[in-house]
Chain A
Amino acid sequence: SACILVDSRCLSSGVELLASLRQRHAAAVHVCSLDGSYFIVSSRMAVERQSQSDLASTQNRKRLIERISSLLGLFERVCLIVEKDRTKTGEISRLFQRTRYYDSTLAALVGAGIRLLWSAGAEESAGLLADLAKLEHRKGQGISVPLEVKGQHRQQALQLYLSLPSVSYVHALSLSHNFSSIAQLMNSSIEAIQKGGCMSRPRAEEIYRFLRYSCDSALVNASKAGKRN
């Protein structure tokens, strides 16, 4: 069945969607803490969900660009489900007013290689997510490691892997299941990192270089103990 990772921030707004994923589509859904409210449906694909009115609102532009750019850095494929706004029962559905801003946003998303999906509501979005996960699975890109990480040491290793640059939750998950110790990863070849992390070659190369990067002590002292990204 389809394996899907969900950010905990999706819970409040996505009760109906999650229930539908679990019950109607028999998907294995695991809630975890991602760096944004999105879904991971394969080792390379993330899915954002936005309401049509949020996408059309100019106030959200900066946040949308930040979120999408960060996803493009972490995943080979990024999808965006555009969901029609919910209308309260009895309310006549308002006609969506298409603006030039909305069109330019769509054009920019398409130009950046984002795959857009169109949904009439939570139920349909759940179906689209399940379809994407199944399609990726058929292409051999499904999430093949257990979605849960048990034990304190493994949890700590997962957190360490998450602080590697350009590593998404699903990469970190694969790394923590596929390497017998952290030291084994630290001393692995690019090929072994690529295989163990179920990731692309450039990403594995970036990790390989990062682990061997020799810090300039003056710059280390000057740097603030930064958070991830």
Chain B
Amino acid sequence: VNAAPPHGHVICSQRWRNAAVLQGLKGVIILFEDELGLADFHLPNRTAILYVSECDIIAGNGYKRKLVCYRNACSRFQELVLVERTRLTEQYFSAVQKFVLFDLGLTLLPVGGQVEASQLIAQISSENPFRRRTPRRLLEPSVLALVQHIPGVGRVKALTLLQHFPSIQQVCNASVAELEPIVGQTSAQQVHSFFHKPLVEH
């Protein structure tokens, strides 16, 4: 049970057979399994879900022990906790959140009940727009923008500086004598002192 289910499948703990939570999982093949441990569901993208119901919360602190064991089981899945947030559990919600998030460091998602939970579970395995890597960009524009943060250096002087000293470090380490023929006496002083003047508070 350490492997994630194949795409389009959900592994579900035996105890959920015939439960309302399965009705919303249309188009998904449900496999039942006895030995999921404390987790209630395993999803294809290596996500495990523990379901904390209204009854669990109202019944007292037993669910907390279950949560601790769930976290400590340290499976190779991302562990989510679905919590039923209803009119009856509203008053406990903030304490439950504190426990799950701050004490255990797990992710909590509130749901109104099993039907809502099933819709959420169905969405958890789809593709992710937030993880898209931005393509590598040229660094030249960023270097040019940074050089223009030197007081007294605009676009023209920045371009001239980079033609003679192609990296920021080289601009920084150029002596006044080296800078003078390129940007003039005043700017040469200004550029050099900007980099080398101590940054102490007065």
> Footprint of B on A, CB under 8 Å?
65, 68-69, 72-73, 98, 100, 103-104, 106-112, 114-118, 120, 124, 131, 135, 150-151, 153-154, 156-157, 159-160, 163-165, 176, 179-183, 186-187, 210-217, 219-228
B88 at the A interface (CB under 8 A): no
- Verify B146–A160 contact, CB threshold 8 A: yes
B residues contacting the other copy or chain, number (CB 8 A): 63
Q: Which residues of A contact B194 (CB under 8 A)?
A: 153, 156, 182
Chain B residues near A117: list those with CB within 8 A.
97, 101
B173 to chain A, nearest CB (A): 7
CB <8 Å contact, B102 and A220: no
Query: Dominant SS at the A interface?
Result: helix
Residues from chain B with Cβ under 8 Å of A211 in the complex: 167-169
0/1 interface trace, chain B 89-113, chain A, CB 8 Å (1 if under): 0000110011001100001111010
Determine how close the nearest CB of chain B comes to the CB of A212; give it in whole angstroms: 5
Please give the residue numbers on chain B whose beta carbons come within 8 Å of chain A beta carbons, in ascending order. 45, 47, 78, 80, 85, 93-94, 97-98, 101-102, 107-110, 112, 116, 119-120, 122-126, 128-132, 134, 138-146, 148-151, 155, 158-159, 162-163, 166-169, 172-173, 194-202
The 8 closest A-B pairs by CB, nearest first: A112-B130, A226-B141, A223-B141, A107-B124, A103-B123, A160-B149, A107-B123, A186-B172
Q: Are B143 and A154 in contact (CB under 8 A)?
A: no
**Across the interface, do A106 and B159 meet the contact criterion of CB distance under 8 Å?**
no
